[in-house]
């Protein structure tokens, strides 16, 4: 008998706040977590001032009482020194997710069937940069002993496993901006195939660094407009979109075999959603640009919907990958149109990157949580700054008329089935179909 996989816990660290509740509250209220690098204390000294892109999504710094970030609120000084920032974000989001799933006490849980699948697209950019500079200027003795263990992309997963004694599958995918969603899909498969009963899964990223922003700027991937008004910089599907906003954070989910959840006493009304289908594909086209037809995205979504056993007409909402790049948004829209263009009801499509920017390897996990919350609470988060849908000079405007892109304000809507998309450099695509638990 096929196992059903459900979501029982959520944890978030995002530019909209530390914690699921403040992040979701700010998201549906239409707030933005984007800021200008000109506000950073090291704007002139660290190299930010040289970069034409000035907008980032940074975790707000301050007290946890105000839903902001300070390592001291979560780790002692020794721990903080040993843990890269991306691992810290992952550990904090994991703690929240475990508490949410009523797993603060793991006594009686078979830890050999309790695994971790948490990935990162880049790992510790800060440690790579700092140790490279130190080695170049001062030689071997100035390389930190923990340099390699801190930078590795699997170290968030490793530290989560160690902290909680989880001896099940220990897995860390790194597939660029599809990482978070792939991690959830892999965790789903581990449970379906009886490698685990329960998994901590998601993604985490801390790439707010001038070298990272410079690299994306040189690749012409990040936004260069709206430097004076950062909240307007991320504009998915809008005619004035011209690049994504580099952001950071973490999203962690607890996914679990349904029978296991019920046996340990989880109330069915506390189950957030069920994972119904997982799809993935490759563009086989280009290292950074998708096919304008959206073929790879279409294949990924189609697989997720088909494996869920439902008809495309039953999908109510798509949380789009849409990063606010000219070609990427158009390609995804073409893929959505191809799969859902003949459905009888109006499909809602929104991109929450308009509020938080692009969290790279953490994006799919964070956006999965937004998708799940939309299902649970019948509220679809908005696409901010959407003033001219498909209005770019190279867009075919008629391709943007079929769907409701939830412009600028959240929307109350019953959502039974919702799809979350994540795509990345190298032509990697992933999609997960979530449903209301019943």
| Residue among 126, 171, 209, 358 flagged as catalytic | 358
Pick the CATH number of 5-270 from 3.10.290.10, 2.40.100.10, 3.40.47.10, 3.40.50.300: 3.40.47.10
DSSP string, 237-275: TBTT---B-EE-EEEEEEEEEHHHHHHTT--GGG--EEE
Is-catalytic flag, 182? Answer: no
Catalytic residue, chosen from 74, 126, 171, 177, is 177
SS3 label, residue 371: helix
Share of the chain above pLDDT 90, in %: 97
pLDDT at 344 over 80: no
The predicted structure's pLDDT at residue 342: 86
pLDDT, tens only, 44-95: 999 999 999 999 999 999 999 999 999 999 999 999 999 999 999 999 999 9
Matching fold, domains 5-270 and 277-435: yes
Task: Quote the pLDDT of residue 128.
Answer: 96
Which pair of structure tokens corresponds to residue 170? 């220990």
- Distances in Å between the Cα of 195 and the Cα atoms of 164, 166, 182, 257, 261 are 18, 13, 17, 11, 16
Residue 37 phi, psi (nearest 5)? -65, -20
Give the tokens for residue 108: 């009686």
Task: Report the pLDDT value the prediction gives residue 199, as an integer from 0 to 100.
Answer: 98
Is residue 36 pLDDT above 80, yes or no?
Answer: yes
Quick check: is 126 catalytic? no
- Averaged over 23-29, what is the pLDDT? 98
Record the tokens describing residue 46, joined without a space.
């660290």
Round to whole Å and give the CA distance between 380 and 214.
34
For residue 203, give the DSSP letter. E
pLDDT at 345 over 80: no
Domain boundaries, the chain: 5-270, 277-435
Tens digits of per-residue pLDDT, 7-17?
A: 999 999 999 99
> pLDDT tens-digit profile of 145-167?
999 999 999 999 999 999 999 99
Of the residues 201, 321, 392, 420, which is catalytic? Answer: 321
CATH classification code of 277-435:
3.40.47.10
Q: Does the annotation mark 321 as catalytic?
A: yes
Instruction: State yes or no: pLDDT of 1 exceeds 70.
Output: no
pLDDT at residue number 135? 97
Average pLDDT, integer, range 395-402 = 91
Q: Which residues pair with 6 in a beta bridge?
A: 256, 274
Specify the pLDDT at position 231.
Answer: 98
Whether the per-residue pLDDT at 98 is higher than 60: the answer is yes
Give dist(CA 435, CA 438) in Å, integer.
9
**Residues 312-323, mean pLDDT to the nearest whole number:** 97
Which token pair is 97?
A: 């997710």
pLDDT of residue 269: 97
The string of pLDDT tens digits covering residues 254-272 is 999 999 999 999 999 999 9
Cβ 208 vs Cβ 46: under 8 Å: no
Dump pLDDT digits (tens) for 206-246.
999 999 999 999 999 999 999 999 999 999 999 999 999 99
């Amino acid at each position: 008998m096929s196992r059903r996989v459900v979501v029982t816990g959520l944890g978030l660290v995002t530019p909209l706040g530390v914690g699921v509740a403040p992040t979701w509250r700010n998201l549906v209220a239409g707030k933005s977590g984007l800021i200008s690098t000109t506000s950073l204390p090291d704007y002139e000294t660290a190299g930010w001032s040289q970069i034409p892109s000035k907008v980032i999504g940074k975790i707000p710094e301050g007290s946890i009482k105000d839903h902001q970030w300070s390592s001291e609120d979560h780790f002692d000084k020794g721990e903080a020194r040993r843990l890269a920032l991306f691992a810290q974000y992952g550990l904090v989001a994991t703690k929240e997710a475990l508490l949410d799933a009523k797993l603060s006490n793991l006594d009686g849980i078979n830890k050999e069937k309790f695994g971790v699948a948490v990935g990162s697209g880049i790992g510790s950019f800060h440690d790579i940069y700092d140790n490279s500079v130190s080695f170049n200027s001062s030689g071997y003795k100035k390389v930190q002993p923990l340099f390699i263990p801190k930078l590795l992309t699997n170290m968030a997963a490793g530290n989560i496993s160690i902290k909680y004694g989880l001896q099940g599958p220990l897995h860390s995918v790194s597939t660029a901006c599809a990482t978070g969603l792939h991690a959830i899909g892999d965790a789903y498969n581990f449970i379906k195939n009886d490698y685990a009963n329960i998994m901590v899964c998601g993604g985490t990223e801390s790439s707010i660094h001038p070298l990272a922003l410079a690299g994306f700027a040189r690749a012409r991937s990040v936004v260069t407009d709206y430097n004076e008004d950062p909240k307007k910089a991320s504009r998915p599907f809008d005619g004035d979109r011209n690049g994504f906003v580099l952001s950071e954070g973490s999203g962690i989910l607890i996914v679990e075999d349904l029978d296991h959840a019920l046996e340990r006493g989880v109330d069915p009304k506390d189950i957030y959603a069920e994972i119904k289908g997982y799809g993935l594909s490759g563009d086989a086209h280009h290292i950074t640009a998708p096919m304008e037809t959206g073929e790879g995205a279409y294949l990924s979504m189609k697989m997720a919907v088909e494996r869920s056993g439902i008809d495309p007409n039953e999908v109510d909402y798509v949380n789009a990958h849409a990063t606010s790049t000219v070609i990427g948004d158009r390609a995804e829209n073409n893929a959505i149109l191809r799969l859902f263009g003949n459905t009888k009801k109006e499909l809602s499509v929104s991109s929450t990157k308009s509020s938080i920017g692009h969290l790279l390897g953490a994006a799919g996990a964070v956006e999965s949580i937004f998708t799940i919350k939309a299902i649970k609470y019948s509220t679809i988060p908005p696409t901010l700054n959407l003033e001219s849908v498909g209005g770019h000079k190279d867009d075919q405007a008629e391709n943007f008329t079929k769907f409701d892109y939830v412009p600028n304000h959240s929307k109350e809507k019953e959502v039974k089935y919702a799809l979350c998309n994540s795509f990345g450099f190298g032509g990697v695509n992933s999609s997960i179909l979530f449903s209301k638990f019943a």
